[in-house]
Structure 1
Amino acid sequence: MFGIGGGELFFVILVVLMLFGSDKVPEMARTLGKGMQQLKNATNDIKSEIHKSADVQDIKKTFNDIGTDDISKEMTDEVNKIKEDIEDISGPIKRMR
């Protein structure tokens, strides 16, 4: 745990007990635990917002890619077909004039 061995951990606990007393240590531990929990929750919230944003951007990109390539090609093909049909219909009329 953080590169601290058993003897070093015992020494740190002993120093904390001597500085703050046995009645303050549980309160400090609770406060530290609550702070760590709040930090963890904030970090998870930020991660979830980043993932949501990335998912939305990916969906928009996918829709744009699909829409740009497939729909524009289909529309161009349909327009060309209609142009050919109009040319076929209007061809004899134009020649008569």
Structure 2
Amino acid sequence: MELSIGEMALIAVAIVVLFGPDKLPQIARDLGAGVRKMRGAVEDIKTEIMKETDNPVSEIKREIEKVKDAAKDFNPMKDIEKEVLMEPQELNEIPKSQPSEDENYQGPVSR
């Protein structure tokens, strides 16, 4: 909203005529205080909006850090190494089925 010099002068004359020259300083002080309160309220709203928009972003960042920490500890090769480096006694414990011992064994099936 832009006011020209003529419009501002007209508003000033109207204020002086309506309220009188002796109340003009008090009106200016009240107007200034109102503008300061409005600016403070606008800043509070901006701060609150920034907090609200920043909060989900920070939560996402924390979740990403948790996933990264979990990924550091995850090593699928460790399980494979355990299986490859099994003790010989553990290998003997694995049941082996031989065709001669299994009564239901019918051999390879062709299709």
Q: TM-score band (shorter)?
A: 0.7 to 0.9
The share of aligned pairs that are identical, in percent, is 25
- Corresponding residue for 1:61? 60
Long gaps (5+) in structure 1: none
Higher relative contact order (CA 8 A, sep 6+): 1
Q: Highest Rg: 1 or 2?
A: 2
Runs of 4+ in 1 over 6 A off after TM superposition: none
Residue 74 of structure 1, aligned match among 65, 72, 90: 72
- The TM-score with structure 1 as length reference comes to 0.72
Aligned to 1:87: 83
Give distance in 1, aligned partners of 2:89 and 2:80: 15
Q: Looking at secondary structure, tell me which structure has more helix per residue.
A: 1
Deviation at 1:45, TM superposition (A): 1.7
Instruction: Give the count of matched residue pairs.
Output: 93
Q: Per-residue displacement from partner, 1:33-85 (whole Å, max 9, x unpaired)?
A: 101101111111221232234334322212322432x33433332xx233224
The RMSD of aligned alpha carbons is 2.3
